[in-house]
Chain A
Amino acid sequence: MEGTSPASQAWAIQVQGLTKSFGNHLALRGIDLEVRQGEFVVIFGPNGAGKTTLIKVLATIMNPSSGRVLVNGLNLKNNAEEIRRRIGVVTHQTFLYGNLTTYENLEFYSRMYDVPRLKERIHEVVSMVGMTSRLYDRVGTLSRGMQQRLSIARSLLHKPAIMLLDEPEMGLDQPAISMLWKALEIEGEGKRTIILTTNNLERGFELGDCLLILDKGKIVYQRSTQALDLADLKQAYQHSTRLEHELLA
């Protein structure tokens, strides 16, 4: 049942039987996933497992080959534009225009998202990520770490309920990574639903409520963080990515 019935409101994201094929290559082979509002889901997996493909499908950048995806009760197939209003996307590419200034970039995206009280909001998000001093500098002159922080500011402009993060740490050094996570810890706007893909087992364990391992397009492991410790996770990761398993009980 689509639409926004009370039952489906509790779920931020529902994925049923999602497959994605590129010609003969099956990137996602039947994903079933349910994410509650406010949950922090971390997805691990080796390269080529399908993590980026999954994020892209959820972000409506790619169309599923088959299966059903509901975001906040809205069906991906019919309500893609509505869904995009509610999600913020951060990948290792910043979506920022290098020869425009920070302000101009954020102004552009504010317009695209119909953000009310544009100027105020821009100043708000920029101070959230600690970049107020670079507001009128061209984005191309900023370091990689700063650009990525700015990318997070960009994704927060429209106060999305759901955040999709695809390996946001890629290419950043340690100090930049710390700042990145600090920027994401923003509360006070309600608890967001977050889906993060990463190769970093420690960080994922630290941050997530629910941990998934994706391998060769299937979820091969799913556990809540409370029921787990880091050593178990590491073992499970090595185990499930060497062989192919069905979902463990």
Chain B
Amino acid sequence: MKQSHVFRSGLLGLSFILLVVALYLIFIYVPTEKTMGIVQRIFYFHVPVAWVAFLAFFIVFLGSILYLWKRQSKWDVIASSSAEVGIVFTTLVLITGSIWAKPIWGVWWTWDARLTTSLVLWLIYVAYLIVRSYATEEQRGARFAAIVGIVGFIDVPIVALAITLWRTQHPGPVIFQGGLAPPMLLTLLVCLAAFTTLYCLLLIQRVSMKNDEGEIKRLKELCSWGCD
């Protein structure tokens, strides 16, 4: 128990430091981009958050496979926690995309390839969470969600491919393109590290909360049957 506490506190500290450094880099260190101006800085939020959204779904995928294979609830706990954190990050992708689009293109939404794929990912996350809550029993919900997690993850590359092909035929406003100067690359990498660490922290917190909830349920169940 103590070990995990130390680990978690360490992770919290690391996460905090990285985020502070990232903020510094984004707002103070990195030079302003010439065509888009200050708004471009949102790029350093948007891309890492999108990366995490997809990483989270990959974890959902792995957890789902392991759950169906081993039938141990710990894998389902990891999968569902990752889905909850993941949908938050996916929402942030959509929001940051929107914040970028408005000043540059004058519209709240562009059917940009990455943004659109993120929207579909968001819908798949929603499907995952809805299936859990609409199942008649908890264990069924976990099993059904695992199936959605597996099918959904396999679907995402195909979605990305189809949407990208669609957009190349009908080009429209694109969010980010082009190469990166060294200071921009550095900033981006640090932000990637910061948000990934944040994801890990949130995931672990959520997993331990769910484990505690599960433990309480198990104890309640034992007591209602009369302790053996």
Contacts and interface: CB of A to CB of B under 8 A. Distances in A.
Which of B73, B142, B221 has most chain A Cβ within 10 Å? B221
A190 interface: no
A24 B221 contact: yes
A23 B226 contact: no
A26 B225 CA distance: 10
Contact of B225 (A23, A65, A216): A216
Interface residues of B, number: 12
B205 interface: no
Interface in A56-82: 65
A77 to B, nearest CB: 14
A22 B226 contact: no
A25 B218 CA distance: 8
Interface in B185-228: 214, 217-218, 221, 225-226
A137 interface: no
Contacts of A216: 225
Contact of B73 (A23, A26, A244): A23
Interface string B65-77: 0000001010000
Contacts, number: 18
Contact of B137 (A22, A26, A65, A244): A22
A46 to B, nearest CB: 14
B226 A25 contact: no
B75 to A, nearest CB: 13
A216 B225 CA distance: 8
A22 B137 CA distance: 8
Contacts of B139: 22-23
A24 B226 contact: no
Given A22-B137, A22-B139, A244 B214 contact: no
Contacts of A65: 71
A127 B166 CA distance: 64
A162 B179 CA distance: 72
Contact of B142 (A23, A25, A26, A244): A23
A65 B52 CA distance: 36
Contacts of B218: 24
B219 to A, nearest CB: 9
Contacts of B142: 23
Interface string A122-163: 000000000000000000000000000000000000000000
Interface string A205-246: 000000000001000000000000000000000000000100
Nearest to A243: B226
Contacts of A23: 73, 137-139, 142
Interface in B59-97: 71, 73
Nearest to B221: A24
Given A23-B142, A244-B226, 8 more contacts: A23-B138, A24-B138, A24-B218, A24-B221, A26-B221, A26-B225, A65-B71, A216-B225
Interface of B: 71, 73, 137-139, 142, 214, 217-218, 221, 225-226
18 contacts: A22-B137, A22-B139, A23-B73, A23-B137, A23-B138, A23-B139, A23-B142, A24-B138, A24-B214, A24-B217, A24-B218, A24-B221, A25-B221, A26-B221, A26-B225, A65-B71, A216-B225, A244-B226
In the A-B complex, list the 5 residue pairs whose CB atoms are closest, starting with the nearest.
A23-B139, A23-B138, A24-B221, A22-B139, A24-B217
